Amino acid sequence: MAKAKKKRFGWVRPLAIVFLIVWFVRLFFLTPIAVDGPSMAPTLQDQDHLIIEKLSYQFTSPKRFDVIVFQATEEKQYIKRIIGLPGEQVEIRNDQLYINQVFIPEPFIAQTVQELEGEGKYTYDFSLSDLPGSYTVIPEDHYLVLGDNRRNSTDSRYLGLIHEDDILGRASLIYWPINRIGKVN
C-alpha cells in the first residue's frame, strides 16, 4: 500500500523542485514583461513580449542607450532608454542630443527623425533645468530616460530623473510575436 501511494505521488517532489527553480530564476535573473503602449516605437511595439535581464546591473552600472524597465509608480512599470548618466549635463536642441555640450548621435531614432523632417520636431528642445527637479547635472545614482517615440512618451521629461534603485533590469530579448523575435537594441 505504501509503495502504491509513493508511486502515485512520486511526481510531486520533481514538480516542486521545478517550481522552485523557475521561481528563483524569475525572481533574481529573468522576468517576462509586455510592452504597453507606443512610447518605445519603432524599437519596441505595443504588446511585444520581452525578457528582462536583472543580474548584470548587480555588477555593472547601466549604460547609455540601454533599454531598461523601471518602477515608475507603485502599480506601473515603464520601459524606456537611458539617455543621461550620473554627472552629465543633457540637452536636446533641434532633435539632436548633447551630453556635456558634445553632440551624441542616436541611431535608433535617426530614420524616424529623417522621415518626419518638415513635420515639426520629433523631440522638443529641453535641458535638465526644464525637468522636474530643475537640475544642472544628473545627480549620483540617477538617470535620464526617454522613450524612442519622443512625441508620445511619458519619460523623464514628465517623471523626472530615475533613481538607480527603481531600475528592475535591462530589456534583452523580444520573444513574442514570433516575427519579432530578437535582441533588443
Q: Active-site residue 156, yes or no?
A: no
Task: Single out the residue of 69, 96, 99 nearest to residue 84, CA to CA.
Answer: 99
Cell readout for 40 is 518605445
CA distance linking residue 157 with residue 126, whole number of Å: 8
Which one is catalytic: 6, 63, 80, 153? 80
Q: Active-site residue 39, yes or no?
A: yes
Which one is catalytic: 39, 54, 153, 156? 39
Residues 6+ apart with CB under 8 A from 78: 39, 69, 70, 72, 145, 154, 155, 159
Catalytic residues: 39, 80
